[in-house]
């Protein structure tokens, strides 16, 4: 006789190994269905393998000959700059491969503090704090700063890392229509009942290449007693007369309270992110920001590379000034050919196509013609808004740009995107 209801358990008893195999089989079935759905929607993202340094001219596994790269965030061409590489090697030799620690235990070296001070000077802010990435900076900021008494007002097209960071906090959340200042004002009026009000926006939006109307945002923030936060990943180093970013470009450097940005794009392209702003805020983040407290310190080589990139940028604005003309050359030639290019005056130049399969196939055919670009589709961009995002760099030549446009025209006609 089975005691109690043990007979019921025995009836459904399966050996432990078989139960685990059954659960794994169930998981595989679920995952395979998800993957088949992605393939069927034409939104599968393949990873091309680069076999050279990052730069305007690269080599790609399985493709013969040199390839022109028009989709890197290497805005200033510093990813493979000889002085940046040498600075990384020197830091590696002097400070080692890594710290094997988070910052507050035994993971802070002099080069970390020096880079934080340099970032603060560059942005003309009081202090700065380093993170492994800007995604981590965004994940750490809102939860540490905002409470249930506060409110955050976010542009609907903000980067995923801003959205995820806001989800982690307990503040009241308002989302305003993209670049719609009337809607932002209505949301600010509604949020007056909260203690702190923080307007959160990208400086430059990475998928569309458009720029936040910071003057209007700051004016509204001042009128309604709000603070302004800005993510500058696609602006730091090359927007504004000296590359300080969107706030310099639009003349509101003294009105933006908090800036998060990255070392992984224009500033050497390796990794790392940061928050810069009021000294007490940075001090609070060192005490409460979970990605800072529970992540290893940035490797010395990454710190060395980023520090040298900032030195080069602060030493001369020549490379910054070369960006505008090259961006305008690409945009004007593509529009003259009949393509629709989103955004304005930003080196992110989205070639709008609409259909995900079309974007993917055109990108594949561009590679056959020696041009490395990538199709972007859902969920990276909204459905029906598929595009090929082209990014110009200060180290692209005029000949590089013209060759890219010629390939686009040829491939566009082949696929019916152009008459």
Give the pLDDT of the chain (419 residues) as one tens digit per residue. Answer: 445 555 455 445 556 667 768 889 999 999 999 999 988 887 788 889 999 999 999 999 999 889 999 999 999 999 999 999 999 999 999 999 999 999 999 999 999 999 999 999 999 999 999 999 999 999 999 999 999 999 999 999 999 999 999 999 999 999 999 999 999 999 999 999 999 999 999 999 999 999 999 999 999 999 999 999 999 999 999 999 999 999 999 999 999 999 999 999 999 989 999 999 999 999 999 999 999 999 999 999 999 999 999 999 999 888 888 888 899 999 999 999 999 999 988 999 999 999 999 999 999 999 999 999 999 988 888 889 999 999 999 999 999 999 999 999 999 999 999 98
CATH number at residue 275: 3.40.640.10
Question: Which of 315, 346, 370 is the endpoint of a domain?
Answer: 315
> Using an 8 Å Cβ cutoff, are 77 and 395 in contact?
yes
Residue 22, classified by CB atoms within 10 Å of its CB into exposed (0-12), middle (13-18) or buried (19+), is exposed
Same domain membership, residue 327 and residue 255: no
Residue 337, classified by CB atoms within 10 Å of its CB into exposed (0-12), middle (13-18) or buried (19+), is middle
Asked whether residue 17 is domain-assigned, the answer is no
Full residue range of the structural domain in which residue 141 is found: 82-315
CA distance 103 to 202: 28
Letter string b/e over residues 196-209, b meaning 16 or more CB atoms within 10 A of that residue's CB? bbbbbbbbbbbbbb
Asked whether residue 365 is domain-assigned, the answer is yes
Q: Give the pLDDT score at 7.
A: 46
Residues 6+ apart with CB under 8 A from 67: 57, 58, 59, 60, 367, 370, 371, 372
Same domain membership, residue 181 and residue 48: no
> Using an 8 Å Cβ cutoff, are 211 and 346 in contact?
yes
Same domain membership, residue 216 and residue 90: yes
Q: Give the pLDDT score at 45.
A: 81
CA distance 201 to 218: 11
Residues 6+ apart with CB under 8 A from 354: 384, 385, 386
CA distance 192 to 310: 39
Same domain membership, residue 212 and residue 120: yes
Same domain membership, residue 396 and residue 341: yes
CA distance 129 to 295: 13
Same domain membership, residue 161 and residue 299: yes
Asked whether residue 257 is domain-assigned, the answer is yes
Same domain membership, residue 65 and residue 47: yes
Asked whether residue 202 is domain-assigned, the answer is yes
- Neighbouring CB atoms inside 10 A of 147's CB total 12
Asked whether residue 22 is domain-assigned, the answer is no
Question: Which of 315, 332, 347 is the endpoint of a domain?
Answer: 315
Q: Give the pLDDT score at 9.
A: 52
Same domain membership, residue 92 and residue 48: no
> Using an 8 Å Cβ cutoff, are 376 and 353 in contact?
no
Same domain membership, residue 261 and residue 230: yes
E strand or H helix at 19:
helix 16-40
Residue 80, classified by CB atoms within 10 Å of its CB into exposed (0-12), middle (13-18) or buried (19+), is middle
Same domain membership, residue 261 and residue 135: yes
CA distance 92 to 39: 42
Asked whether residue 292 is domain-assigned, the answer is yes
Same domain membership, residue 159 and residue 68: no
pTM of the model: 0.91
Structural domain count of the chain: 2
Same domain membership, residue 355 and residue 217: no
> Using an 8 Å Cβ cutoff, are 121 and 244 in contact?
no
Instruction: List the catalytic residues.
Output: 206, 234, 265
CA distance 399 to 148: 55
CATH number at residue 387: 3.90.1150.10
Asked whether residue 30 is domain-assigned, the answer is no
């Amino acid at each position: 006789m089975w005691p109690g209801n043990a007979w019921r358990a025995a009836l459904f008893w399966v050996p432990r190994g078989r139960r685990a195999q059954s659960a794994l089989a169930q998981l595989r079935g679920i995952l395979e269905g998800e993957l088949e759905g992605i393939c069927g929607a034409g939104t599968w993202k393949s990873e091309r393998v680069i076999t050279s340094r990052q730069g305007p001219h690269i080599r790609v596994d399985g493709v013969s000959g040199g390839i022109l790269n028009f989709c890197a965030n290497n805005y200033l061409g510093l990813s493979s700059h000889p002085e940046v590489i040498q600075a990384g090697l020197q830091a590696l030799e002097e400070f080692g491969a890594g710290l094997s620690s988070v910052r507050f235990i035994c993971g802070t070296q002099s080069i970390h503090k020096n880079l934080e001070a340099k970032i603060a000077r560059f942005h003309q802010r009081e202090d700065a704090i380093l993170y492994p990435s800007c995604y981590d900076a965004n994940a750490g900021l809102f939860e540490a700063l905002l409470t249930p008494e506060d409110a955050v007002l976010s542009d609907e097209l903000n980067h995923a890392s801003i959205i995820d960071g806001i989800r982690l906090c307990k503040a009241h959340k308002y989302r305003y229509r993209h670049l719609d200042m009337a809607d932002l004002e209505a949301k600010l009026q509604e949020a007056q009942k909260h203690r702190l009000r923080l307007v959160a926006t990208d400086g430059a939006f990475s998928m569309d290449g458009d720029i936040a109307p910071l003057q209007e945002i700051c004016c509204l923030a001042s009128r309604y007693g709000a603070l302004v936060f800005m993510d500058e990943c696609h602006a730091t180093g090359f927007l504004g007369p000296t590359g300080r970013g969107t706030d310099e470009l639009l003349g509101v450097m003294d009105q933006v309270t908090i800036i998060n940005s990255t070392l992984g794009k224009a500033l050497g392209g390796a990794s790392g992110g940061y928050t810069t702003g009021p000294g007490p805020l940075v001090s609070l983040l060192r005490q409460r920001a979970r990605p800072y407290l529970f992540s290893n310190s940035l490797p010395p080589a990454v710190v060395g590379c980023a520090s040298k990139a900032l030195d080069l940028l602060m030493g001369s604005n020549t490379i910054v000034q070369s960006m505008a003309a090259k961006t305008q050359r690409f945009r004007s030639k593509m529009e003259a050919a009949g393509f629709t290019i989103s955004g304005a005056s930003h080196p992110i130049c989205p070639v709008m196509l609409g259909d995900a399969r079309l974007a993917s196939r055109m990108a594949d055919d561009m590679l056959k013609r020696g041009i490395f670009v990538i199709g972007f589709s859902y969920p990276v961009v909204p459905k029906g808004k598929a595009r090929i995002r082209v990014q110009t760099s200060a180290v692209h030549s005029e000949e590089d740009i013209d060759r890219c446009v010629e390939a686009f025209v040829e491939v566009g006609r082949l696929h019916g995107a152009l008459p």
